[in-house]
Structure 1
Amino acid sequence: MRHTVVERELELRLILSPERSIPVPARLDYRSDDPYAVHVTFHIDSEEPVSWTFARELLVEGVFRPCGDGDVRVWPARADGHRVVLLALSSPDGDALLRAPVAQVSAWLERTLRVVPPGTEGGRLGIDGALEELLAR
């Protein structure tokens, strides 16, 4: 099966305080061979970029309403008169609150949903073929 990758470079804002944020270059990745997940890579001042992987559904829903609990939470908001999506990430290394332009995130999500429509993800995993092969032995 042929796999498709949908990428998008964009600039997020790391919220340091209500008055202060700094730019964080990031890349959104979606791979049809990993259809339930989105991958976000942050290019920060470190030797290696920082990557997070979480459910695509979380980002899709978070554009419209607050969702998620635990390590990843996503919700819509307004900043400087513009619609944005906020992404709260928690790890043992610390917490981060990031702001992304909703138009860019939504356009990228729409591309991923055209590649693998919601509800068809399971068919992309190849489990049926692997199970048939296993049972044929």
Structure 2
Amino acid sequence: MHESVQAEVLMSFLVSEELSFRIPVELRYVPADPYAVRMTFHLPGDAPVSWAFGRDLLLDGIVGPSGDGDVHIAPVGPGELADVAIRLRVGDEEALFQVSAAPIVAFLDRTDRIVPLGQEQAHGDFAAELDQVLLSILAEENAG
């Protein structure tokens, strides 16, 4: 069994220019899904919300704007290891978070030790996962 990498960081949830609060966010990386990083946001009064996106998107977003879909990551301000802004979108709704780059870099460094960047293909069994997904879709269609 491959080890996974987990970290908890505090992020600022930027509700508006005047209002923000810090929330715990769990970062998780599992070698069986070597391209993805999962973030679970623990918002007060709500059930935890998890997002999965590319590990390379997170890495790229530390040094420059990255992402062209529902996830955008970019450094905030000049300098090396500045804060990082993470913008998540679902439909017309958007959430903006800000976090220090240092714990994100430390997390990514730990993921790179178990699955080096560029060697993800050697770690996931994508054919088996795809077969499993297709079988479950077929089973649902046949049941309905």
Query: Is 2:8 aligned against 1:9?
Result: yes
The CA RMSD measured in Å over matched residues stands at 2.2
Gaps (5+ residues) in structure 1?
131-137
Measured in 2, the distance between the counterparts of 1:22 and 1:91 equals 21
Q: Aligned-pair distance for 1:10? A: 1.0
Instruction: Give the letter aligned to residue 2 of structure 2.
Output: H
**Who is 2:124 aligned against?**
125
**Take 1:47 and 1:16, find their aligned partners in 2: how far apart are those partners?**
15
Cα distance in 2 for residues equivalent to 1:127 and 1:51: 22
Compared with structure 1, are the counterparts of its residues 127 and 37 closer, same or farther at alpha carbon in structure 2 (3 Å cutoff)?
closer
What's the counterpart of residue 59 of structure 2? Answer: 60
Q: Of Structure 1 and Structure 2, which has the larger fraction of its residues in helix?
A: 2
Residue 91 (1) aligns with residue 96 (2): no
Task: Give the count of matched residue pairs.
Answer: 127
User: Please, what TM-score do these two structures have when normalized by structure 1?
Assistant: 0.84
Which structure features the higher share of strand residues?
Answer: 1
SS of residue paired to 2:67: coil
Residue equivalent to 1:24: 23
Structure 2: runs of 5 or more not aligned: 130-144
- TM-score normalized with structure 2 length: 0.80
- Encode CA deviations 1:82-126: one digit per residue, 9 max, x unaligned: 820100000137210100110111111111111111111011013
Q: Structure 1's 129 and 25: CA in aligned 2 closer, same or farther, altered over 3 A?
A: closer
